[in-house]
Chains A and B, each alone.
Chain A
Amino acid sequence: MEPDRFVVVCNDEEQYSIWPADRPLPAGWQDAGFTGAKDECLSHVDQVWTDMRPRSLR
């Protein structure tokens, strides 16, 4: 029973991930402004996550 809608999320280190859209976000994660099917969310991550270093190490 994998969820069908996800939201792209981001933490303070600007690391991206995805989370089931109908569930409250875990603490320390923000909505990165994109919701969709899993594949769509992952494609979006490919677009926006251009520097994979944690923010504190840039």
Chain B
Amino acid sequence: MSWTFPASYAQERVWSANQLDAGSPVYNVSSPWTFPPGLSEEQVAGIFAEVVARHEVLRTHLTLVDGALMQVVHPAERPVLPVDDLRGRPADEQAARAGELARTPIPLDQPPLWRARLLRLDDSWRLLLVLHHAVFDAHSVEVFRAEMGELSRATLAGEPAVLPELPIQYADHAAWQREQLAGPALEQQLAFWRGHLDGAPPVLDLPLDRPRPPELGFAGDEVHFDLPLQVLDNATALGRTASTTVFPVLLAAFSALLSRLSGTPDVVVGVSTAGRDLPELTPLIGMLVNPIAVRCDLGGDPSFAELVTRVRDASMDAMDHGGTPFQLVVEAIAAQRDPAVQPIFQAALNFIPGTGFDPVPLGTTKDDLAFDLTAGTSRVLYRTALFDRSTAEAIVDRFVRLLSAAVADPELRVSELPVLSEPEYDRVVREWNDTAHPLAARTLPELFEEQVTRSPGATALTFAGGSLTYADLDARANQLARSLIARGAAPEKIVALVLPRSPELVVAVLAVLKSGAAYLPVDPDHPAERIAYLLADAKPMVVLRTVDEADGDPGPVAVPVRPGNPAYVLYTSGSTGRPKGVVVEHRSVAAYLAWARHAYPGLTGTALLHSPLTFDLSVTGLLGPLTAGGTVHLAAIDEPPPTRPAFVKATPSHLSLLDDRVSPTTDLVLGGEALAAEPLAAWRAAHPEAAVTNEYGPTETTVGCVAARIEPGAPLPPGPVSIGRPIGNVQAYVLDQALRPVPVGVPGELYIAGEQVARGYLGRPALTAERFVPCPFGAPGTRMYATGDRVRWRTDGTLDYLGRLDDQVKVRGHRIEPGEIESALLALDGVTQAVVIVRTDEQGEPQLVAYTVGAAERKDLERTLPAPLVPEVFVRLDELPLTANGKVDRERLPAPEVTEAAYVAPRTDAEALVAEIFAEILQVEKVGAGDDFFALGGNSLRGMRAMGRIRSELDLDLPMRSLFSFPVVADLAARIEELITAEVDGLSDAEVAASLNSEEGTGA
């Protein structure tokens, strides 16, 4: 005999979350009890039986009836308790038994939803009790302890126990709750939550140690720590001044930390409420706790005191609506949930003043990150799929540091609260930037002329049809320099070189440098309009369009050039605004070349100069050899030189053009674009003798300023290649928007300081002032350049390039790193090149589009990337369009063809079955193979029903999470077919088909 009642909303929530991994003990709660001495086994068993008899919920299990979750209550029977005799055994055996029991999964579909053992100890009995969270919560621990205590006392005294009346049972509450929460009352509550969470980020972007897996599991771990009592006292005192408790203070500090680590001023944190507002609920054991989402507004960089007030108000508002079952809030707000992300909030904070937390670590977690704070031992639970233990420990340290500083000085702004420890600060600011080495301030003419003196007869330049020695090149440059000087060329002046790649261009560059002027390379193949713009903007003293056969004095020119004078002006096009001229001084180029000559031994051999001089990548291959005694070979990248060059610098997009005759023997330098390991692997395998260097550097910090050298044969892990460390005399800082260093692993903007920082933008004082800012870390009065690039430190002091700050896009609320998607594409077999961009679709919505050379499809990426990162459109190209500089030309990527998502009738029996069940449960007339359950208005409750139907129709063990992973009819049907194939190996294909056919026949 048993009684059936509807399950509570909280039970529905726990049940449906538990379906994601039914074998996990994640919802186990331990509530052990030690009896006072003097009781017999019979008596202690009787005491426990009395508590079970009082609370129906301890005699309940859950089951689906016609797709609705029900609680089934069984009559009271005396439970049988296994006994372990531990008399005379070491104490750790107790803990071992407790741990074992705590980690045993409790299936929800059979009573009882708890497991218990009696331990016979030397002087007393101890009950080990583990319950499913569906029938028990933190307050239930208190109720249970009080009843066990009173019953024990009464039994020892031989008196009747004095226990509170239970006017209602848990199932009554569940039924009452369903009556109350209906119609306008529910709508009003949900309206609050819709408003409270409107526009909130769907995922908290904490820096992760690993990419988020496409599906969540419960695997977790915990780190224990003690909050210093002084800090807790200060926090309590600060709470008092804000007329509140300690909790909003702790929550404010937690939200500040999450905001600083994720770079967002809008943070949603989950908080538990007891859910026992009514007096009838106080004496009940049962699952009443309800999570609420508190949205913390850190906008405008408030002081900590102000933040406490904001968080206090936000949490009071949220708690006022804490009666709305979280399950219903999720359905209302995040029905279309992403199986990779826990809905509404991913980080939680609880303050448990009295009892402390569940003492047995379960190796599980429900949240990405959850702090349980107590006056005793506190802990953080973390998802091991996302975080390493060392990261969780670092987060604890940061929280304690930030909270301590905030409560000691609440007037500090959020941006001023310390997140880094002093050793960490020292490491990222000083240790990893300790790049100083002696560097004489030199000019380029000096460096070249010294080389002419060292090796006048050596070949400086080769080209189709000829070559020049150092002495020849110097003489011709001197002759042209004299003529330029006569036309007004001088230090702080500009000479424009509108010349094709030719020996004359090389002569002209050296001549301009010798005259003291800065050269401005202009590509004669560029549109006339652009050339006219550059010349009008730069106002050069001389414009050289041809170089005549030289005559005149070939001897040295005597112009006093200073290291601070400009050497060249290069125009760069930003994503916005007109092209701007970057003015780079001799000292900066000399500093870069000093490092390059040391880093690239290939520069003493032949270097292939193929890229236009308008791109500063070419500086290495031109001025590198000419100041190192090497030979510059002028040719296009697809024109093989007579012998293989020793040095080639190119962009990663050029890799496919580097055949055996063009590939360098000593140094391949790649720059100008993000580099991934996969496209490089084939080249390295074919050319195992060459070193590869990934060189990063905006024109504003002179050619290259951060570099990673990959030695021949050195293994290279898949994915994006690190850009390495700052090179000699360069400092790299990764800063937040308040210009403070961010922790290792946290993305920030890269700032570059040191010798290679350019003078600024030609004739653009405001733009220069905006991007070249005071450097608070280096020598007084120096500047650093804000690169606009997002990077993060790795723990080894090398930098990861993450993309442009202004490329950072949000698609459907998720922050997208196109680079991350590109690496996933490149990891696919057959994909050799990939670019991901965001386009605006017909509806004006941002849309991710993947362009690949080689085939790639949605389903390839769905296995490795969370759903929001999977591009909506894939475009396969024979080759990617390149700019003249060899970078991918994003402007010329074709717009994808718009295809209307047409209705596709179910094509297989499985599709027909799924479509029919979806249509019935969602009350939609026509469901096609391409339709998405959630897009059609499904929520997880209806999902439970749909999956229940499918399970029973096919007699198939199909977990609930399959629907979240495969919400589209065709995908779910394919999954079902896979499962059938796997499960019914014994059956013939015909039998399987027959089973599907017969199921289809049962429908309308």
Contact = CB atoms under 8 A, between A and B. Distances in A.
Interface of A: 1-4, 8-9, 11-13, 15-20, 22-23, 25-29, 38, 41-43, 45-46, 49-50, 52-54, 56-57
B298 A52 contact: no
Given A1-B737, A57-B562, A42 B769 contact: yes
Nearest to B265: A1
A9 B774 contact: yes
Contacts of A11: 774, 781-783
Contacts of B780: 26-29
Interface string B415-455: 10000000000000000000000000000000000000000
Given A17-B773, A54-B759, A43 B766 contact: yes
A28 B782 contact: yes
Given A1-B738, A18-B773, A28-B782, A54 B765 contact: no
Of B300, B763, B775, most buried by chain A (CB within 10 Å of CB) is B775
B765 A53 contact: no
B42 interface: no
Nearest to A16: B769
B307 to A, nearest CB: 12
A53 B773 CA distance: 16
B774 A46 contact: no
A28 B73 CA distance: 77
B768 interface: yes
Given A13-B781, A20-B739, A28-B782, A49 B564 contact: no
Nearest to A18: B769
Contacts of B693: none
A26 B564 contact: no
Which DSSP category, helix, strand, loop or mixed, fits chain B's interface? loop
A23 B776 CA distance: 11
B162 interface: no
Of A1, A11, A54, most buried by chain B (CB within 10 Å of CB) is A1
Given A1-B738, A20-B739, A57-B492, A26 B301 contact: no
Interface of B: 259, 265, 298, 300-301, 413-415, 492, 562, 564-565, 583, 736-739, 759-760, 762-763, 765-770, 772-776, 779-783
A26 B492 contact: no
3 tightest CB-CB pairs across the interface, nearest first?
Answer: A28-B781, A28-B780, A49-B765
Contact of A27 (B300, B415, B564, B781): B781
B93 to A, nearest CB: 53
Nearest to B768: A52
B300 A4 contact: yes
Given A11-B782, A28-B782, A56-B564, 8 more contacts: A1-B265, A1-B415, A1-B737, A16-B765, A17-B783, A20-B738, A52-B763, A57-B562
30 contacts: A1-B259, A1-B298, A1-B300, A1-B414, A2-B737, A3-B737, A15-B760, A15-B772, A15-B783, A16-B769, A17-B774, A17-B783, A18-B773, A22-B413, A26-B774, A26-B775, A26-B776, A26-B780, A27-B780, A28-B774, A29-B774, A29-B781, A41-B769, A42-B770, A50-B765, A52-B768, A54-B564, A57-B562, A57-B564, A57-B565
B759 A45 contact: no
Contacts of A29: 774, 780-781
Given A42-B766, A49-B765, A28 B492 contact: no
Contact of A52 (B415, B739, B759): B759
Given A1-B736, A56-B564, A45 B765 contact: yes
B770 A46 contact: no
A50 B760 CA distance: 13
Contacts of A26: 774-776, 780
A30 B774 CA distance: 10
Nearest to B739: A20
B743 to A, nearest CB: 16
B738 A3 contact: yes
A29 B999 CA distance: 80
A9 B774 CA distance: 8
Contacts of A22: 413
B264 to A, nearest CB: 9
A38 B769 CA distance: 11
A28 to B, nearest CB: 3
Contacts of A8: 769
A55 B265 CA distance: 41
Given A52-B759, A53-B492, A57-B492, A1 B301 contact: yes
Of B772, B779, B783, most buried by chain A (CB within 10 Å of CB) is B783
Of A15, A38, A45, most buried by chain B (CB within 10 Å of CB) is A15
Nearest to A2: B737
A42 B767 CA distance: 8
A42 to B, nearest CB: 4
Contacts of A9: 774
Contacts of B492: 53, 57
Contacts of A49: 765, 768-769
B774 A12 contact: no
Contacts of B738: 1-3, 20
Contacts of B768: 16, 49, 52
Given A1-B414, A29-B781, A19 B773 contact: yes
B774 to A, nearest CB: 4
Contacts of B564: 54, 56-57
Contacts of B415: 1
B751 to A, nearest CB: 13
Of B765, B772, B779, most buried by chain A (CB within 10 Å of CB) is B765
Contacts of B565: 57
Contacts of B769: 8, 16-18, 41-42, 45, 49
Contacts of B766: 42-43, 45-46
